[in-house]
Amino acid sequence: QMNPRLWYGAPSGMLRLPVSGGGGAGGDEIRIERLNLDSPRISPSGEFSVTADRLRFTLSGANFQIDRDRTLATESFQIGSVVATPGTPLQVKMEFTTAELTVGYEFLRHAFVLEEGGRPAEAPVKLHVHVLAGVRLYDTSFRVRDLSGSASASADEFFLEPIVGLRGDLERVEDFSIILQLSGGGFADSSRSSYSADVAVGFQWRPIPNLGLQLGYRQLAYGLTAGEDEDEFSYNGRLAGLCVGITLPF
């Protein structure tokens, strides 16, 4: 099935960008609200899955972008090589892409049973629980430029980490289902590290057999670090918000 969705999400967290030209010390770690990057945006996201007996193969992803051609600093701070004071005009850009590929195994399948006329009968409600394993990637890009001078700061980083998780589907066979998915992962070596925790819940109504309407909420929390000293990049934050979309089974 295919699940195209729109994610009305907003980022948050702490950001550090590398300092160009060296100097032996990294830039300050600042809240991205200071760069006016915390506004919610409608972003594309989606999922494609294939189920074979108890196995479920899923590819999903989302992309968030925000571009501030001109925004004024409201406080004093330093981000990378850019030193801002109240009123400093800044050009700020952010792009954040995440995607994941997982394989799930359905280890629990339960049909709720009621009594009808003294005999057990299957109710039209079924529970499916999958254990998941796979990989999650992040592709991040930040640009900050002082429009009143020549200073700028930027970073383009890519991270890949293994993840594990659980997915539960509670289905009323005819027309309604509730979906809850929890996953997390991490990876670290000498110069790069990442970790994540992802929570997503969705409610789906199927007015006709081959179309489902979805409403849900997702919060993806992450910590991304690369380099050290003046070359250090780090972004520890969250991307969270409502999701709406459709489900197209085939």
- The model's pLDDT over 93-124, given as tens digits with 9 standing for 90+, comes to 999 999 999 999 999 988 877 666 656 656 67
Q: Is the CB of residue 214 less than 8 Å from the CB of residue 199?
A: no
Q: Is the CB of residue 11 less than 8 Å from the CB of residue 245?
A: no
DSSP single-letter state for residue 3: E
Chain segment 125-180, per-residue pLDDT in tens: 889 999 999 999 999 999 999 998 888 999 999 999 999 999 999 988 678 999 99
Whether pTM exceeds 0.75: yes
Give the CA distances from residue 185 to residues 57, 161, 222, 223, in Å, rounded to whole numbers and listed in that order. 18, 6, 9, 11
